[in-house]
Amino acid sequence: MPCINLDLEYFSHRKVLRLCARLGPWAEIIPLKLCAYTGKFHPETGHLIGYSADELITMIGVRPDLGRDASSILQALLDCGFLVTAEGGYQVHQWLEYQGHIAAFSIRGKTAAKARWSKLAEKDLYDATSMPDAMLKPDSSNAPTNYLTNYLTDLPPNLHTKPTNKECPEISGPVTSSKVKPQKKQFDDDSLPMESARFFWEYLQEWAPGSREPSKQEYQSWAKHFDLMLRVDKRTPADINDLLDWINRKKESPNGFAWKKVIQSPASLRAKWNERKFVDFLPSSLKKDEFK
């Protein structure tokens, strides 16, 4: 887990002392919360684009008190040098110089995720074009219907009809047939749906830290939903990775709504995706047919 760098002289630094003089005791905590929020949601550049004063102060977890509103707290951060203005919003001062390791950690995580999905895509079993022609076009001479037709043709005429109790005295009641329950599909550990289920668990641990890891049976259920996404909904591993990555980076709105709280299982991910719920929320860079 990445951590922010904190200088040993931080609490006695003149910028921190100026901020405490402006806002009062405990104001030294505000820059720490600002860095923690930026490292989690904007690690690559430290840019805070599109935030209003109220939204930014609320999102970093600062509660205005002592009669000071969000605008005065934001202005104090600017005046004391913790923030600088940038195109479309603000930027944490010297972010890459002091916290650049977080950006490197984020890039490394994305690269590893893409590599995992690329490896899984190589053994994708859902591409019909890779199946042998014999599997797609079976020989008609071996078709079950032809076999049944030939079998019935060879039977004596009196056996083409359903026997009655008189014709079969040993049968005391009506002829019944027992239904055989179909076996549930089991996914191997190295199958694409099962790998996708484990990949989803990695995200869920960040979205809901108190979650319990699924059991083997629950993993099978998760894999089933990913199997339906890949085979029936025609999603690709890259599409799933992009959407999960977007949900992971999407910040919570001021009224508390966040996709991380809604998407707690592959079933909810598939349901909201098929209901086209993500179309209105995705940024323009991700608004493509695969997410509709």
Q: For residue 140, what pLDDT band results from cuts at 50, 70 and 90?
A: very low
Give pLDDT, residue 270.
Answer: 92
CA distances from 270 to 120, 198, 221, 237 (A): 19, 16, 13, 13
**Which is it for the CA torsion 43, 44, 45, 47, positive or negative?**
negative
Section 171-180 average pLDDT = 55
Give pLDDT, residue 151.
Answer: 45
pLDDT of 180 strictly over 80: no
Give pLDDT, residue 134.
Answer: 47
Q: What's the pLDDT tens digit per position in 33-42?
A: 988 888 888 8
pLDDT of 292 strictly over 60: no
For residues 53 and 76, give the distance between their C-alpha atoms in angstroms, rounded to a whole number. 12
Q: Tally the residues of the chain.
A: 292
Most confident of 9-13, 52-56, 175-179: 9-13
In sequence order, the β-bridge partners of residue 92 are 83
What percent of the chain lies above the pLDDT cut of 70? 67
Q: For residue 79, what pLDDT band results from cuts at 50, 70 and 90?
A: very high
Count CB-CB contacts under 10 A for residue 221. 16
Section 18-35 average pLDDT = 88
Q: For residue 148, what pLDDT band results from cuts at 50, 70 and 90?
A: very low
For residues 197 and 203, give the distance between their C-alpha atoms in angstroms, rounded to a whole number. 10
Given a contact cutoff of 8 angstroms between Cβ atoms, the answer to whether 90 and 83 are in contact is: yes
Give pLDDT, residue 260.
Answer: 87
- Domains delineated in the chain: 10-100 (1.10.10.10), 185-291 (no CATH)
Give pLDDT, residue 142.
Answer: 47
The least confident of 12-16, 93-97, 217-221 is: 93-97
Mean model confidence pLDDT for the chain: 76
Q: For residue 196, what pLDDT band results from cuts at 50, 70 and 90?
A: very high
The answer for 179, left when phi > 0, alpha when psi is -120 to 50, beta otherwise, is beta
> What is the full DSSP assignment across the chain?
-------TTGGGSHHHHHHHHHH-TTTTHHHHHHHHHHHHH-TTT-EEES--HHHHHHHTT----TT--HHHHHHHHHHTTSEEEETTEEEETTHHHHHHHHHHHHHHHHHHHHHHHHHHHHT----GGGS-HHHHS--GGG-HHHHHHHHHHHS-GGGSSPPPTTT-TT--S----PPPPPPPP---TTSHHHHHHHHHHHHHHHH-TTPPPP-HHHHHHHHHHHHHHHHTS---HHHHHHHHHHHHHPPPPTTS--HHHH--SHHHHHHHHHTTTTTTTS-GGG-SGGG-
Which residue, among 255, 264, 262, has the nearest Cα to 277 in the 3D structure?
262
pLDDT of 184 strictly over 80: no
pTM of the model: 0.40
pLDDT of 131 strictly over 90: no
In sequence order, the β-bridge partners of residue 49 are 89
Given a contact cutoff of 8 angstroms between Cβ atoms, the answer to whether 57 and 74 are in contact is: yes
For residues 53 and 117, give the distance between their C-alpha atoms in angstroms, rounded to a whole number. 39
pLDDT of 225 strictly over 90: yes
In sequence order, the β-bridge partners of residue 91 are 47, 84
Higher per-residue pLDDT: 174 or 266: 266
Given a contact cutoff of 8 angstroms between Cβ atoms, the answer to whether 38 and 95 are in contact is: yes
Phi, psi angle pair for 49, to nearest 5°:
-100, 135
The least confident of 104-113, 158-167, 202-211 is: 158-167
Higher per-residue pLDDT: 175 or 269: 269
Give pLDDT, residue 105.
Answer: 65
